[in-house]
Structure 1
Amino acid sequence: MNENLLQLTNIHKSFPGVKALAGADLSVRAGQVMALIGENGAGKSTLMKIITGIYQKDEGEIVYLGNKVNFKGPKSSQEAGIGIIHQELNLIPELNIAENIFLGREFTNKLGCIDWKKTYQEADKLLAELHLNYDSRRLVSDLSIGEQQMVEIAKVLSFNSKVIIMDEPTDALTDTETASLFEVIRKLKKQNCGVVYISHRLKEIFEICDQVTVLRDGQFVGEKSIDQLNEDILIEMMVGRKLEEQYPRIDRKRGNVTLEVKHLTGFGVNDVSFCLHEGEILGISGLMGAGRTELMKMIYGANPAKSGSIVLNGKPIKTCSPKDGLTHGIVYISEDRKKDGLILGMSVKDNMSLNALNHFITPFKKLSLKDEQQAVSNFIKLFNIKTPSTKQIINFLSGGNQQKVAIAKGLMTRPSILILDEPTRGVDVGAKKEIYQLINQFKQQGLSVILVSSDMPEVLGMSDRILVIYEGKVTGDFSICEATQEKLMAAAVGKNTGES
């Protein structure tokens, strides 16, 4: 039996209006990877913040290395040998990679000055462990989200922790980066470290984990060995019911062309042309860095185009700013909701209605607070957003509920074109199903939807037609009838597979 490194028993934690944990248990053993899973809002992140001292528990017991503990802050848990890779990136963009990794623990010489040579050498060594060909002098602000995530992982590895918590570590990683991370996890197991692995990607759970702990509504549901489980059992434990169909795609006769993109060229985009129809879901597939997000931001107006044109409902338009995009009824829901989609210190109501206030102006040029409140309440009900009130600060909502608010915020502007960039990233299977059903509602209502996703089953499961982007170009255009994972992957690496 593997030694217990960390044991949490009957943990309770409440916030104003919310009972986040109501009897949560977790065991972390030497040389094992413990998956911690549950729907958004199940209490996983709260439990991790209690372990690391960010939050203090209301009730319960924490035993670490045989001793009862109650860490007073992240520094004390870190010094004790507990490291965490947060789901939300925790890097300083203005510093380089090496400076971020060793921030607060800088190497110094005999004169007390920073030893930059050793700093870069040690940073390069950590990056090499992860098979990353990064220059440790490179600014973090110049890195993609996936690259920043790998720097976060390198930073935690630098502490030589005994227990390592990984909260959605592969959310923004490529397949190659994920394979490198799994190699590191296997190495940590051999060193008798204990790993807590939080992920909504069930395939990864079965690939890398030994045990699984399930939380639901802040409560401990059960712990099982991975060989006792399959995906159906896990989903039922998480949501308390069976999900009959993961991707509930519906058929609808598509209408007229609403959007035409002609020879669009700019940063990361090279001569892209396509059409989008009324009531159609157009999937955009491709590997990270292929230019998918750059293309969407160009259509929306956040990135400038060097050449090409955009035609909306038969009329040429120019989108030189996001304001132009919104004016023309084009909404873009960012892949990074916390950076580009939401204002974390504001309430649910203020976030949701921010871009749509003009719809609540009375004939006397005053804002109708009653109409605004009603619209927000309607979307909360429609989207099944779990929040104690419309006044709740959005930073206190779970990731899945934040994502629903971000989508509702776009829809409140009453768009004709909805661009969803990684809409289910970091979202649990239950919330994913709800988002898919909402997308289907939009489709039924005649909204034109562009779905950008790195999740190939999601693209295949929800799209009517799929474009594949590689190095800023369209390398594949498939109807859903002819699209396969093999064809999409071939096009994603630049192999022409017979476009339709």
Structure 2
Amino acid sequence: MNTQAVTETVVAVRMSDVRKSFGGVHALRGVSLAIQTGTIHALVGENGAGKSTLLKILQGVVTPTEGSIEVFGEHMSSSSPENSRRLGIEMIFQDLSLIPTLSVAQNIFLNREPRRLSILVDERREIAQAAEIIGQLNLRVDPRTPVFELSPGQAQLTEIAKAIHQDARILILDEPTSSLSAQEADTLFGMLKKLTAAGTAVIYVSHRMTEIMTIADEITILRDGQNVTSGKTSEFTLDSIVQHMVGKRVTGFQYQARPIDRNGKPALSVRGLSGPSGKPNDVSFDVHKGEIVGIAGLMGAGRSELARLLFGVDKKTGGTVELGGTAVEFKSPSDAIKAGIVLVPESRHEEGLVVEHSVGDNLGLPQIGQLVRGPFIDRRREGTLTSDLIKQLRIKTPSADNKVRNLSGGNQQKIVIAKWLAVDPSVVILDEPTAGVDIGSKAEIVELIRTVASSGKSVIVISSEPAELLATSDRILVMNNGRLAREIERDEIESWATTAGDETQSPLIRTELGLQVAIQKATQNVH
């Protein structure tokens, strides 16, 4: 890979008046944009804004209905992945294209293996070259390791290494940090800077706005298949980006203080809690009525394991849990639900929803006992319940009979939250509540979390997104290797707005950087 700095900036991609219709549905309505070499260009918009269709056109998977595309001045006359690859375009999807049973080296060199005697694969050279490429990404794995043994972050970086080997001149990244730890994300950002310094054009798609504000040089915003605006990142604020995306002012990511009475008994009191895997390990904390406690930490810190213990999925090996001053023991999640604790799990598809069933069936599932009349479900009563929940949480669905799999990620997540709120719990645990949802849905879910706490319920928010924790949490607990590494009060969080990061950055971004630094220090100090 040539890492010599490029001084001359040229247009790598120019898309002019690109339109695409699927039957009577207009996915793109005349999109135009230019991507410069040596830059990271963020493409943002809500789900359904047209981002995926535009990128599939550039990748050659979809043919545009109208419009023209030039790549380094050459007109893209035909749409095919092979033609796009010939022009130097490589796309790394959120769902990776690696072959699990092949090694890291074999995946990187797939169909481009180094040969000896023009016939045999030169495995020794393949492994040596793969080691050099993954070394650039600080990916500390043996090139001979099968992909199925890699962590999600290692697999993501392997996919990027594969694109680097193929000398991509235009690299498209779709939600590249969704499965990366903070350290792996930093490694990725460093690699992208090296690539752009060498002249590569990077098109970057992410729902993480502060991430985009930190690394992108330019931003294009789509809404309803049209350009809303484009410009240098320095010309935008986080609020203005969100406003352009959703078409209205959104203030969901600014913390809103609420009165919390910490004088009485805690609603939830945890002392010395330990789990079978060693995570959590001797964890103690309190959550008061109406309080939102955020739980931060790197991947593998034990956050989700803590949630599973509190919800009775896993059996604790030590410690006590009290609700309102009364000790409780859970043999199963049903015991936790009866006691007043509910869990919105990290994986909504695998643990939170029955996606092939209707919206109504999913919403009524936790209360199936109350909805049964004799051997049958009281459909009228179920209809009233689901109608109220759909209206209350603004779930966008044609009807309660619509299958859950047909809804957007944001609306699916609202269903998971709504079905548990319907049982009127006293403690609500949310594990990655906005993972994989667009910015508009994120803001709605953040506002919903605040509403739940304001109603007097105690809330625990487990999240990998600093912006989400900062917007919701009255206190933040940092976990590391199963233990609580430190507790961060709101006063300290507010001080970061003026002391952390670059003075040219917004207070919101400086606060997020402050939390990232606090997490890193807590991780280094606790073993």
Q: What TM-score bracket applies, with the shorter chain setting the length?
A: 0.7 to 0.9
How large is the Cα RMSD of the aligned pairs? 3.6
2:319 match: 308
On the 8 A contact 1:249/1:463 being kept in 2, the answer is no
Percent of pairs identical after alignment? 37
Q: Work out whether 1:349 is the aligned partner of 2:379.
A: no
Residues 10-89 of structure 1 mapped to structure 2, 5 A cutoff: 10-13=17-20, 19-65=26-72, 66-72=74-80, 74=81, 77-78=84-85, 80-89=87-96
Write the distance in 1 (CA, Å) between the matches of 2:317 and 2:77. Answer: 59
Paired AA for residue 17 in structure 2:
N
On the 8 A contact 1:342/1:351 being kept in 2, the answer is no
Q: Work out whether 1:423 is the aligned partner of 2:433.
A: yes
- Which digits, 9 at most, give the CA deviation of each residue in 1:55-110, with x for residues without a partner? 454444444442234534x5664455322222344555565544554556666666
Q: Work out whether 1:7 is the aligned partner of 2:20.
A: no
On the 8 A contact 2:363/2:415 being kept in 1, the answer is no
Larger Rg: 2
On the 8 A contact 1:12/1:20 being kept in 2, the answer is yes
Write the distance in 2 (CA, Å) between the matches of 1:53 and 1:169. Answer: 20
Write the distance in 2 (CA, Å) between the matches of 1:170 and 1:455. Answer: 11
1:198, CA displacement in angstroms? 1.5
Write the distance in 2 (CA, Å) between the matches of 1:398 and 1:455. Answer: 20
On the 8 A contact 2:320/2:327 being kept in 1, the answer is no
1:420, CA displacement in angstroms? 1.4
SS in 2 for 1:430: helix
Residues 127-138 of structure 1 mapped to structure 2, 5 A cutoff: 127-138=134-145
On the 8 A contact 1:62/1:70 being kept in 2, the answer is no
- Which digits, 9 at most, give the CA deviation of each residue in 1:151-204, with x for residues without a partner? 332233333222111122233434432332222222222333221112233443
Q: Work out whether 1:330 is the aligned partner of 2:341.
A: yes
SS in 2 for 1:318: coil
Write the distance in 2 (CA, Å) between the matches of 1:243 and 1:373. Answer: 32
1:493 match: 523
Write the distance in 1 (CA, Å) between the matches of 2:24 and 2:358. Answer: 14
Distance 1:411 1:152, change over 3 A: farther
Residues 368-407 of structure 1 mapped to structure 2, 5 A cutoff: 368-390=378-400, 394=404, 397-407=407-417
Write the distance in 1 (CA, Å) between the matches of 2:272 and 2:23. Answer: 53
| Of 282, 294, 315, the match for 1:271 | 282
SS in 2 for 1:9: strand
1:311, CA displacement in angstroms? 3.8
2:309 match: 298
1:18, CA displacement in angstroms? 6.2
- Which digits, 9 at most, give the CA deviation of each residue in 1:196-232, with x for residues without a partner? 1122334433443232111112221122133433334
Write the distance in 1 (CA, Å) between the matches of 2:390 and 2:113. Answer: 47
Unaligned runs of 5+ in 2: 1-7, 497-513
Distance 1:442 1:97, change over 3 A: farther
SS in 2 for 1:51: helix
Unaligned runs of 5+ in 1: none
- Which digits, 9 at most, give the CA deviation of each residue in 1:422-461, with x for residues without a partner? 2233444433221111111211233221111233343233
2:298 match: 287
2:270 match: 261
On the 8 A contact 1:348/1:405 being kept in 2, the answer is no
Question: After alignment, is 299-308 or 261-270 more displaced?
Answer: 299-308
Paired AA for residue 153 in structure 1:
I
Paired AA for residue 257 in structure 1:
P
1:466 match: 476
SS in 2 for 1:269: coil
Distance 1:96 1:412, change over 3 A: farther
1:12, CA displacement in angstroms? 3.9
Paired AA for residue 264 in structure 1:
L
What TM-score, normalized by structure 1, do the two folds share? 0.83
Residues 170-181 of structure 1 mapped to structure 2, 5 A cutoff: 170-181=177-188
On the 8 A contact 1:465/1:480 being kept in 2, the answer is yes
On the 8 A contact 1:109/1:115 being kept in 2, the answer is yes
SS in 2 for 1:278: coil
Paired AA for residue 269 in structure 2:
E
Distance 1:32 1:245, change over 3 A: same
What is the aligned residue count? 493
Write the distance in 2 (CA, Å) between the matches of 1:439 and 1:369. Answer: 29
On the 8 A contact 1:310/1:318 being kept in 2, the answer is no
Q: Work out whether 1:318 is the aligned partner of 2:348.
A: no
On the 8 A contact 1:166/1:196 being kept in 2, the answer is yes
| Of 146, 152, 157, the match for 2:159 | 152
| Of 182, 190, 200, the match for 2:197 | 190
1:473, CA displacement in angstroms? 0.8
What TM-score, normalized by structure 2, do the two folds share? 0.80
Distance 1:303 1:46, change over 3 A: farther
Write the distance in 1 (CA, Å) between the matches of 2:354 and 2:280. Answer: 29
On the 8 A contact 2:139/2:154 being kept in 1, the answer is no
